[in-house]
Amino acid sequence: MNFDLTNEQRMIRDMVKDFAEREVAGKAEEVDRTGRFPLETFEKMGGLGILGIPFPEEYGGSDGDTISYALAVEEVGRACGSTGLSYAAAVSLGASPIYYFGTEEQKRAYLVPLASGRALGSFGLTEANAGSDAGGTQTKAVLDGDEYVINGSKSFITNASYAKTVIITAVTGKSEIGKNVISAFIVPTDTPGFRVSREYEKLGLRGSNTAELILEDVRVPKENLLGDPQKGFKQFLYTLDGGRISIAALSVGIARAAYEAALKYAKERTQFGETISKFQAIQFKLADMAMQIELARNMVLKAAWLKDQKRPFTQEAAMAKLFASETAMRAADQAVQIHGGYGYMKEYPVERYLRDAKLMEIGEGTSEILRMVIARQIGC
């Protein structure tokens, strides 16, 4: 068993780490405070090939693998949770389904600009009454001649206001047993009838754009149907499995940021004549944080490795996302505690890490849903 990264994986990680420290970290506080989406950062990421890491060069990508991509998400998330979330959503949700299930024509038309950084993508699955129960989708698509007409709405959609394309899930019929058949469509955001109705104000990750979408008689060519129309539900479940690896990696990045800030503060803060890093109560907190982050990262990399080997990874992705997200919350909470009163103040970043970490336990499958996924995988 070899835990070493390849030379290419190390090069990608180090390149992204250097970029994140130079271009992302310094804007994190301002991005969070103002809620500004840092579009210029994504333009630079596109120029460096960061948005195309897991895709082949022939489709505008960097010909990397899932491990390299997970390491990149961790580094971006460590620098800025908001930027990390939008990056993960653009690649795992906005572009990957086209790579997984798209035709050659769809890949040339839509994946190439997404992977090369000329455009951002988004994924419209969640609705007001279809969150954890994604099968409860109410958005509908009806074939009319050579076009599908889509009507419905989507909630909590990342990057929606800045995306050039959104992958929309919609009911297209009934199965033999009476269940909804859910299919996916590539919808350019300049299509008539497609609009962003509002942008959400959030507790954390405030610089990551999150919006509600309305689709009113949106017409797309039938060629924009993505993958097998009878297997749309399975397709987006596979997409979510991959997305959970990226959110797990993002969680590790946020946890690292919290841990590193707490360790630095503990070595500087003096009480009772010595730095608080000398107190066993603080040492135990930091030791637990370091241990849990290492475990979480190993779980992420195992799930990513299984995906790269084209082996089943649903269980491992769910475990990685569940453990890493809860690790991020614990690390951020303890970082605030170590900072004491200062941890509650805006002048230190740990309060932001705590706000950012909370969504990790909700998005891409809540902790409760992930425990259900794991239970099913182990035969319960």
Q: How does DSSP classify residue 25?
A: G
Q: Does the annotation mark 268 as catalytic?
A: no
Amino acid sitting at position 279: F
Cα 263 versus chain centre, distance: 27
Q: Which residues have a Cβ under 8 Å from the Cβ of 379 and sit 6 or more positions away?
A: none
Task: Report residue 38: phi and psi, to 5°.
Answer: -80, 70
Judge whether 223 and 105 are in contact, CB under 8 Å: yes
Closest CA to 81 of 311, 275, 356: 356
Under the phi-then-psi rule, with left for phi > 0, alpha for psi from -120 to 50, and beta for the rest, what region is 227? left
Q: What share of the chain is helix, strand, coil (3-state, %, to 5)?
A: 60, 15, 25
CA 281 – CA 66 distance, rounded (Å): 38
Amino acid sitting at position 316: E
> 358 in helix, strand or coil?
helix
> Of 176, 294, 364, 368, which is the active-site residue?
364
What are the residue numbers of the active site? Answer: 364
